[in-house]
Amino acid sequence: MKKNRNRILVTPLLLVGILLLFTTGCEKEYSLPTVTTAEVTNIGQVEATGGGMVTDDGGDAVIARGICYSTNPGPTLNELAENTTYDGEGIGEFTSEMSNLSFGTNYYVRAFAINKEKGIAYGNEVTFKTTSPEGVDCPADLWAGDLKCEDLVWESYAPTYCTGEKMGDCSLLKITFDFWGYGSSAELVLELKLESLDLETYEGEVSLTKDATVTAEGSDITFHAGAVGTYRVLQGEILLDIPWSGYDATTSYKFRITTL
């Protein structure tokens, strides 16, 4: 009876050991998801399209995926709440839209995927640069060709023609029009210098490089060289307030020149 009692005790212990070995050996192992970052397409001045591909969930369902982007390398979710997109869940390909970007700026992008067990995984980093508005690289090109010139003093005396010509340098521009709309007999030529462009406002100062003269209404009128206004690339306009003499007591004359 003693031998049998020992055999009865050993058997349950053996079963418990086997059960523990089985459950321990079958415990599920988790890892971070695997995600890659797609190349950026549809790049514009203030928008672009990114995305990525989740190829492995790490053994646990992917609960969120998307991209984060920044003007600095290594963007992360914690730093970039505003520059983050969330584009579904699970394994597979996804597309992300970026908006409210800055003109002519380099951006860094990483896709991400999140599972509950291990957290956030990041994909490879890709870069792209938004485009710049026309005229940023060479402002004078923006006003080369046929233009609209407006007389802001006597509006009914608007020029009947107006043209712009780049004078070799991207900052030098020649504007030709008929003053007071009197045709070629009262042609006025303004040689302008477009000073440095402010890349935050996309505006700059304008100077008249030399005096410009015209005869109109029997008077010899002179527009004097110096600082004469501003140019605005995004609006495609030049606003001039030019000191003048030879006609009446007013000290300056105003024009607005815009692209067609």
pLDDT in tens, 93-108: 999 999 999 988 999 9
Q: Does the pLDDT of residue 13 top 90, yes or no?
A: no
Ranges of beta strands (E only) in the chain are: 34-37, 48-56, 62-70, 84-86, 92-98, 106-115, 119-129, 145-151, 162-166, 172-178, 187-194, 203-208, 212-216, 219-223, 226-232, 237-245, 252-259
Q: Tell whether 9 is covered by a domain.
A: no
Answer whether 101's CB lies under 8 Å from 46's CB.
yes
The amino acid occupying position 40 is V
pTM, two decimals, is: 0.69
- Same domain for 197 and 233, yes or no, is yes
The DSSP call for residue 156 is G
Print the domain residue range for 216: 139-259
The DSSP call for residue 41 is B
The domain boundary residue, chosen from 129, 162, 180 = 129
pLDDT of residue 200: 84
Q: Does the pLDDT of residue 170 top 60, yes or no?
A: yes
Count how many domains the chain has: 2
pLDDT in tens, 37-63: 999 999 999 999 999 999 999 999 999
- Same domain for 160 and 250, yes or no, is yes
What residues have CB less than 8 Å from 218, skipping those under 6 apart? Answer: none
CATH code for the domain in which residue 76 is found: 2.60.40.10
pLDDT of residue 1: 46
Q: Tell whether 151 is covered by a domain.
A: yes
Closest CA to 109 of 94, 95, 128: 128
Q: Tell whether 24 is covered by a domain.
A: no
**Angle, CA of 109, 115 and 119, to the nearest 5°:** 70
What residues have CB less than 8 Å from 135, skipping those under 6 apart? Answer: 141, 142, 233, 236
